[in-house]
Amino acid sequence: MKVNKIMAVKLMFSMTLILGLTSCSKKSSSSNSSRATGWDVNDINGSAQNVANKKQQAGPGLIFIEGGTFTMGKVQDDVMHDWNNTPTQQHVQSFYMDETEVTNMMYLEYLEWLKKVFPPTEENYKHIYAGASPDTLVWRNRLGYNETMTNNYLRHPAYANYPVVGVNWIQAVEFSKWRTDRVNEAVLEKNGFLKKDSKTSDVTAENSFSTESYLMSPSTARGGNEEIVLKGGKGAKKQPKADKGGVTPEAKNVYAQRSSGIILPEYRLPTEAEWEYAAAADVGQREYNIYKGQKKYPWSGDYTRSSKRKNRGDQLANFKQGNGDYGGIAGWSDDGADITNEVKKYPANDFGLYDMAGNVAEWVADVYRPIIDNEANDFNYFRGNLYAKNKIGKDGKLEFVTPSTIKYDTLSNGKIMARNLPGQIVEVPVDEQETYLRQNFTKSNNINYRDGDKQSSRYYDFGNSEAVDAKNSQEMYNSPEHNVTTDSLGNMVRKYDKSSKRTTLINDNVRVYKGGSWRDRAYWLDPAQRRYFPQDMATDYIGFRCAMSRVGPKTEKRKSPRN
C-alpha cells in the first residue's frame, strides 16, 4: 500500500515536470516568433533573421551622458557684452563623450598608423602624414623661451598623457574618422568577421578598412580580399563551399551589418549644445524636477577652489589666475600646472568627465554664429550640416577612393591635407533628387540657414532675384577672402585679401571652441562661454575630445527620484 502511494507521488511529480517543461518550451518558442508574420526569427529559410534586441556598447574611452533639457548660454558674468550667448532652452539627446581630452599618446597612435600604411617617403602619400601632424611651433612666443615644449611636448613620454595641442579643427575631424574605423575593425575581428590580427598584419594603402565601405559593400572591403573579410577567428562566418554539382549556395550572414548590432556609430566632435550640456552637468544639482541653484563652473559652487574638507583650498582646474600667474604660489595652493597638465589630475564633474574646465579649450563641431536660433530648432541644435551621398560610378557601382584618386586640399595657411583616404567611399553633395518637395531641407549646404544666407540679410528684397549676390559688399558676413593655390610647377601661390572694407572675421570656416584653458582667466571656465577660431589654424591652448551618438533608449536604466 505504501509502495503504491510512493509510485503515485512519483507519477504526479513526473507529470508536473513534463507539463512545466512543455510550457517553458511554448513560451520560448513564442518569444522567437515574429510579431509581424508569426515566423520563427531564427528560421534560416525565412525572410527574418535573428535580430536580438541588443543595446549599444560604449566605445573605448567613452562615458554615457544621459540627455535632457537645459538652458544653453546662461552665464553669470558677461563682461565682454558681445551678446553671443543669449540664453535659450535646448534639449539634447543621450550620447557618449570621451572621459578625457584626446592625449598625445592617443594622437601619436594615429600618426604611427598613417606612417605605416601611407609611407611619407612615397611621392603619392607624402602629404598624408605631414597634413595630420600637429603644429608644434604653436608654442613659440617672440618674447618667451618655449623651445622645450616645441621640441618635446608632442613626443616625449613625460607628456604622453597630456592633451594634444597644435591640432586644427579639420585634423580633429579626421582623427575622429580614423578612430571610428579602427574601433569597428577591432569589433569585427573580435566577433569573427575579420581575420585575426589583420588590422596590423594585412593592412596596406590598397586594403585599409573603412566602416562605411564595409557596410555598403562588404565584398569589396579590404581590397576584396576574402582571406581577410571572411576567414576570421573561431566561430567566424565563412563563405559556403560549392556542392557536388559545382553550385555555390548564396552566402548568408557572412558579413556584419547594421542589423547585427555590433558596429558602433561614428566617433565625431561633439556639438556645441552637447559639449555645454555635458560640461555643466546640471544632473548633480537636480532635486525632484528642478535644479538647486545655478552652477557657474562644471563643479558646484561659485569658486574655483574646493570646499571639501579632504582637499579644501585646492584648485579644481588649471588656468591663468592673473597677470604673470599661471598656477599660483608654489606649494599647497598651486594648481599643479603652469601649462597643460596630465589628464585626470583634477576631479571629474557629475557626469564623470575630466577637464571640462582648464587644461585646454576644446573644438566642437559647430560653425560659429553670434546667435543660437532656438526658434528654428531646439532639439539637438547644430549649425554646420553639409549633407552628402555616396557617389555611384558610370558602371552603376559605388565609387571608392584609390591610391591614385586621393584628393588633397590646400588650406588658407598653406598646409596640405588629404580630403579622403583609399578605401573610403567617394561622397558628393545631395542634389534635387533628395531635396525635391522636401520640407525639412532644400539643399546640401545648410551652414547659413537663417543666418548668413541671402534671406537673412537686412538688404534682402523678397522677389528680387538680384538681391544681395555672393560678392555683394552688403552681405551679412563680409570677412577676408584669402586664396592659396599652386602653380604649374607645384609652387605655392598665396594671395592675401588686403581690402580695407572688411568688417568681420566670421565666415563659414570659423568654428566654435568651448571651455577655458591654461592660458585663460576664470571667466572663460564657465561652460556657457563661447569663442571662435579659424578651422584650419591651431594654437597651444585648443585641443579636443570625441563624442558618439546614442542609439536606442534615452536612459541606461530607470532611476527612482531622490529625496
For residues 360 and 275, state if they share a domain.
yes
- In this structure, the answer to whether residues 541 and 460 fall within a common structural domain is no
The proportion of the chain whose per-residue pLDDT surpasses 70, expressed as a percent, equals 82
Same domain, 149 and 81: yes
Spatial separation of the C-alpha atoms in residues 183 and 223, rounded to whole Å: 19
Residue 60 has pLDDT above 60, yes or no: yes
Q: How far is CA 222 from CA 211, 260, 416, in A?
A: 11, 20, 26
Confidence class of residue 52 from pLDDT cuts 50, 70 and 90? Answer: low
Out of 467, 488, 507, a domain closes at 507
Q: Which helix (H) or strand (E) holds 275?
A: helix 272-280
For residue 151, give the CATH number of its domain: 3.90.1580.10
pLDDT digits (tens, 9 = 90+) for 276-318: 999 999 887 777 777 776 678 888 878 887 777 767 768 889 9
Whether residue 265 sits in one domain with residue 143: yes
3-state helix, strand, coil in the chain (%, to 5): 25, 15, 60
Domain boundary among 507, 523, 547: 507
- Tell me the residue type at 327: G
Q: Is residue 18 part of a domain?
A: no
Whether 358 is in a domain gets the answer yes
Confidence of residue 28 (pLDDT cuts 50, 70, 90): very low
Q: Quick one: which of 546, 539, 417 has its CA closest to 114? A: 417
Distance CA 227, CA 505 (A): 53
pLDDT tens by residue, 377-389: 999 999 999 999 9
Single-letter amino acid, residue 431: D
Cβ-proximal residues to 413 (8 Å cutoff; 6+ apart), any chain: 484, 536, 537
The closest of 215, 145, 150, 154 to 180, measured between CA atoms, is 215
Residues 111 and 85 reside in one and the same domain: yes
The whole-number pLDDT of residue 291 equals: 72
Residue 429 lies in a domain: no
Assess if residue 90 is contained within a domain.
Answer: yes
Same domain? For 283 and 380 the reply is yes
Among residues 487, 507, 527, the one where a domain terminates is 507
* CA end-to-end distance (rounded Å), the chain: 65
Backbone angles phi, psi at 47, to 5 degrees: -75, -25
Q: How many domains does the chain have?
A: 2
My answer on whether 330 and 463 are in the same domain is no
Q: Alpha helix locations (H) across 88-225?
A: 104-117, 126-132, 147-152, 169-190, 198-201, 211-216
User: Are 170 and 307 part of one and the same domain?
Assistant: yes
Alpha-carbon distance values, 38 to 31, 32, 235, 260, 297 (Å)? 10, 9, 29, 21, 55
With a cut of 90, say whether residue 496 has pLDDT above it.
no
Question: Do residues 474 and 376 both lie within one domain?
Answer: no
Residue 123 shares a structural domain with residue 101: yes
Residues 468 and 346 in one domain: no
Q: Provide, rounded to the nearest whole percent, the portion of the chain with pLDDT above 90.
A: 53
* Alpha-carbon radius of gyration of the chain: 28
Same domain, yes or no, for 358 and 486? no
Residue range(s) defining the domain that contains residue 486:
448-507
**What pLDDT is recorded for position 235?**
47
The answer to the question of residue 498 being in a domain is yes
pLDDT of residue 271: 98
| Helices 169-190 & 104-117 angle (0-180, nearest 10) | 80
Q: Is residue 545 part of a domain?
A: yes
Q: Tell me if 34 is assigned to some domain.
A: no
Residue 222 lies inside a defined structural domain of this protein: no
Q: According to the model, what pLDDT value does residue 390 have?
A: 95
pTM: 0.88
